[in-house]
Amino acid sequence: MSVMNIVFNNPVYYFIRNNLYGLFEKESMMKHCIVFIISLLFVLSKCSSILNAGDVQNQQYVSSKAPPIDAMTEVRRDVNGKLPAYIVVDDGVEYKVPFTPTTNFPPEGYKGDFYVDEFTDAKIRELWKVYSSKGTAFAEEGINAAKSRGLRNEFRVTGTVDKFGKIDPNSEVDLSQIRRPKYFGSKPYAENIAKLDPESYVVEVEVPASLNEIQFMNVPEGSTHKLRGWYIKGSGVKDASGKKVRVLVVIVSGRTIEITAIQSPYDKLYDYNTVTKKYEQIKYPNATTEQYGIRQWRDYHYQLVKAGFDVLNLDKRGHGISGGYNASNTVQQARDIFRALDAFASGEKLKVQTADGKTLTGKAASEALWDGENDAKKFPIFLAGTSQGSMVVGHAMHFNFIADTDFDLPIPEERKPFGYNIKGGILLAEFVKGPGYTSSSRLMVEAALREYYHVAYINSGEIMRDIGKWPAVFIARGLWCFSGSLEGTLDLYQRVKGLKELVVLRGPHSENEFGAENIKFLQERMINFCKEVMRGAKSISGAAQFNNLRELVESSPAHWEASMDPNLPFPLP
């Protein structure tokens, strides 16, 4: 059976899901329908052998090595449909705890590492060649499907509620016009992050434009962008000798997230629609909130600094206060991490503003951040990312430990790994499991992105293949996260050879939507993990233990995302 047959397993459910969740964000619903119908006809033509055999694989929810599911159960936010579940007993009461199913399976008799071998960069590009060779209509469909991420796409809501903080990110900027942590201490926000303002710096680093921008957006070759965000100093954490050392956690936010956007504590993520009988997401920005979720996300920064870690969060290219015209190229966003680290050490192309309003450049800026450390490869670092940020971390860890690979260029080349002092990778709402464990439509879009637009978005199979070479890995996700199969996350985790922990929570995709108890639990586990790695532990204290998919689901704390909480009224008031 060819890879074309394999990757388009179970297309109907996931094409509908991805249209509903805005895979093609800027296209009309009519366009969604046209893309779906054309793709479905193509899928049916390629999968006739499977369909004629009864399409038995499409009825599976987990692989044959996983315990069979106990039931199907209704999931509200943000699925609004049924998912498979295992029965879990909490305090003597049985609950159906749902999780994201597996949809792609190796064909019978397949030899090899299916979820790696069939989804490498080379195989994705091969898929595009086969796909586009079917004729202009099919090639155009793939290109159009990828257009919203391959052409100019930016997220710019900062400054829509309060004009202070609104800048032109693609021009020269006075750093005093960027919101600092103390801005969020005033009412009604009253965020903890404001307490860290004395230790905080607004930072700006310079990075090169991408081939995608040069070729498709008329950006002159040799152009650069300025990336901006916050660097917050911590008090240090203990290393294996018991000495306190400075350790940096580089945080890469998810897609659309802007680090200095406003969220009112009185606004909600969703409302219950009494007509559709569904929980529906509220659209932002509005009069009081620029972006939902950023308030909780800033608290992750606060908790890490409170625990002693330095924290860096630059808005990614095409997001918020950072320049750039394409918000999707996770390869370039990964490279930007190392460009920033080099700037912190050398002072080259670096500008910072201190808490007392001083603007520093060059060596003075470097000394303010890193106290004179001039070797970027010596500073101890963790890379942490959520959702799209996890893809960025996946690429960055690959570049650092395996090979510096041009996944976004027409002819990918490999060079030796970077070799920075990275202690571990932290993957929240992870997408690193790769395209084999996610939807068929994502693979089609990725093929067009890489081959036509020179953008790499999701991690290809190489990242999962080589995760065993990372020194330590922390993974956390919601059980019914739409990023892909829970079984895929377990597969990813089981490939890790170093220190590791996997946390699953009873909630959807975003780590900010789990509810206060789950968020607190996740923050505590993440910080404990980093401290254990730094002190040279042989294992992670308190980490959940499990041997299969059922036991993994059973390891989830008995706290539910609000719309699914059996102890709360339905619908929520």
CA distance 339 to 355: 24
pLDDT for 116-155, tens place per residue? 999 999 999 998 888 888 777 878 888 898 999 999 999 9
Question: Hey, CA dihedral for 196, 319, 19, 278, is it positive or negative?
Answer: positive
Q: Which of 539, 363, 394 is nearest to 466 (CA)?
A: 394
What burial letters (b/e) apply to 145-154, b meaning 16+ CB within 10 Å? bbbbbbbebb
Paired tokens of 486: 């829970």
DSSP summary character for residue 452: I
Q: Which of 344, 300, 334, 65 is nearest to 191 (CA)?
A: 300
Query: 3-state class of 439 per DSSP?
Result: coil
Amino acid at 516: A
Question: Hey, CA dihedral for 245, 475, 296, 521, is it positive or negative?
Answer: negative
Predicted TM-score of the model (pTM) = 0.90
CA distance 312 to 200: 10
Question: For residues 420 and 378, is the Cβ–Cβ distance under 8 A?
Answer: no
- Give percent of the chain above pLDDT 70: 90
pLDDT for 476-506, tens place per residue? 999 999 989 999 999 999 999 999 999 999 9
pLDDT for 284-331, tens place per residue? 999 999 999 999 999 999 999 999 999 999 999 999 999 999 999 999
Query: Starting at the edge strand that comes first in sequence, how are the strands of the sheet with 499-505 ordered?
Result: 359-361, 350-353, 200-208, 224-232, 310-314, 248-252, 381-386, 422-428, 472-478, 499-505
CA distance 175 to 243: 35
pLDDT for 207-229, tens place per residue? 999 999 999 999 999 999 999 99
Greatest CA separation found in the chain? 71
Question: For residues 183 and 261, is the Cβ–Cβ distance under 8 A?
Answer: no
pLDDT for 18-58, tens place per residue? 333 333 343 344 444 444 444 444 443 333 333 333 333 33
| Helix 388-401 vs helix 330-346: crossing angle, to nearest 10 | 60
| Helix 136-150 vs helix 121-132: crossing angle, to nearest 10 | 130
Question: For residues 98 and 75, is the Cβ–Cβ distance under 8 A?
Answer: yes
Paired tokens of 187: 């009412």
Vertex 305, ends 304 and 306: CA angle to 5°?
90
